[in-house]
Amino acid sequence: MVFHGKNFIGSQFSASGGKLIYGFNPRTGKQLDEGFHEATPEEIDRALALAESAFPILRESPPERVAEFLEAIAGEIEALGDELLERASTESGLTKERLTGERGRTTSQLRMFANVVSEGSFVGASIETALPDRKPAARPDLRRMLIPIGPVAVFGASNFPLAFSVAGGDTASALAAKNPVIVKAHPAHPGTSELVAGALLTAVRKTGMPEGTFSMVHTADPELSLSLVKHPATKAVGFTGSERAGRAIFNAAAQRPNPIPAYVEMGSNNPVFVLPGALKMSLDSIVQGLFGSITLGVGQFCTSPGVVIGNADRSFQEFGEKLAALFEKGQPGTMLHPSIAKGYRENVEHRAETIGVSVIRSAEKGDVEKTETTPVLFQTDAGVWLKNRELANEIFGPSAVLVRSNSRDQLLRIAGEWSGTLTATIFGTPEDLEENRDLVAILQTKAGRLIFNGFPTGVEVGNAMHHGGPYPATGDAKFTSVGTAAILRFLRPVCFQNFPEKSLPAELQSGNPRGIWRLLNGELTKAACDRLG
């Protein structure tokens, strides 16, 4: 396959900068041949100027046209065929089988948002008709809905080169909300990014979307990347990655003369609480499933379980022994990039030095030159855990800590001192849940998703999913980056008071020409309304 290595500035290919970014094959430990031009500040400025010009046209585009555009993106990605999967596998070390599923998730969520746009109720229309005779003061006619926020900067993620990247969930939801998008390609997979950006640009052209609806730039320089956040035309940011990078983006967004929302998904250690009843029912299946969840994708999922907590009785001891045996047989896996593998090894070695923490390593040693690492299980008790808060920090990779609690109070204290997390899992019986209502209540304040007798990896993309959580899981726990509610990040409310019918958006007109669900004088309905109620 041949790459031009240029930035996508609207519909133009641009290579003004001299610095090149190269992909890397983690399986071979070798840099790839093709160079990709890092964007210049001028190119970034041009991309955002085009986005700013496109926004007034895009926000007035008919819903059916936007839906057609999203469908077209999905089709063009599928048309890339095996070429896309091969390049993504080469740049990430992920298997073609895994990437086939990820491509399906990418295209299905694009089509999901096409359906959301076509149906239209996502705007949250709310109408309170006028009450001119109300005493002591008349009520005006009030009509509220959500509208697009403006150009959105999206940062591609390293661990999902398709589903959280150029045409991933952030891009799909921002475009569905009628916002132009400028993507910063992740430097670990520039070739994959170019292929997907080409598909997206083809969809722009085929559906007649305005110039500047989409741009993509290559950057590896942190300050250059932050210029996307600081640019006055940018109105919101979507990011998935490390806490360090996410916090830099969040801070830059907040420190602007006109602060903007930065929806940053960052670190999450995803605790698992094993209650006594679970171990009496299905100990082996829980152990097998938990090991699979911890090591899935070489532990490079933001929902990978990082800590397993249970009462220090004979059943939990047996549980720990069985889990340790699986880790001892664990096979090396290729991580996404040498820097990620290096960080994993360093964090594992640092944690192993903690007094009171024992280590179970797999018998197989990974090949450092091929970016391989091995699964590691740590074991300790609640007393050591509570004295060493850094044990709660995420280690990105196939690792977890098994914590033995000596009392129910210790169990609750561990939960209460937890930082924000994407998920919290409880294994047990329904009776266990009833007896541990206080634990469930605590975990509701810590996590965005509570799981009962299941595993946190494998995030369903749908209407009811919430993929977010209190800091440091995300910068704003009210929003999700997965599912249809992700569109709400890139909209803002506006209220029209006493506007004539012809000047109202279709979604707020009395006749409800779009046939959407609306809150009409406190009742959810699709009915039309009389102007005076």
Which residues are known catalytic residues? 265, 302
Radius of gyration of the chain (CA): 25
- Those residues with Cβ within 8 angstroms of residue 81's Cβ, 6 or more apart along the chain or in another chain: none
CB of 414 closer than 8 Å to CB of 405: yes
3-state secondary structure of 451: strand
CB of 70 closer than 8 Å to CB of 117: yes
3-state secondary structure of 94: coil
- Those residues with Cβ within 8 angstroms of residue 25's Cβ, 6 or more apart along the chain or in another chain: 31, 32, 90, 91, 93
CB of 280 closer than 8 Å to CB of 311: no
Query: Both tokens of residue 157?
Result: 């993620």
Exposed e or buried b per residue across 197-216, where buried means at least 16 C-beta atoms within 10 angstroms of its C-beta: bbbbbbbbeebebbbbbbbb
CA atoms within 13 A on the CB side of 342: 6
Q: Residue length, the chain?
A: 533
Kindly report the backbone phi and psi dihedral angles of residue 314, in degrees, each rounded to the nearest multiple of 5, phi listed first: -65, -40
Query: Both tokens of residue 4?
Result: 């031009």
C-alpha closest to that of 481 among 265, 267, 299 = 265
Query: Both tokens of residue 405?
Result: 């609690």
Helix, strand, coil shares of the chain as percentages rounded to 5?
40, 20, 35
Helical (H) or strand (E) element with 316: helix 314-328
Rounded CA separation 151/10 (Å): 13
Strand positions, DSSP E, 138-205: 142-148, 152-155, 181-185
Rounded CA separation 32/194 (Å): 15
Rounded CA separation 270/285 (Å): 19
Kindly report the backbone phi and psi dihedral angles of residue 154, in degrees, each rounded to the nearest multiple of 5, phi listed first: -120, 130
Query: CB atoms < 10 A from the CB of 295, how many?
Result: 23
Give residue for tokens 């070798």: 30
Report the Cα–Cα distance between both ends of the chain, in Å, rounded.
63
In this structure, the dihedral spanned by the alpha carbons of residues 195, 91, 94 and 487, taken in order and rounded to 10 degrees, is -50
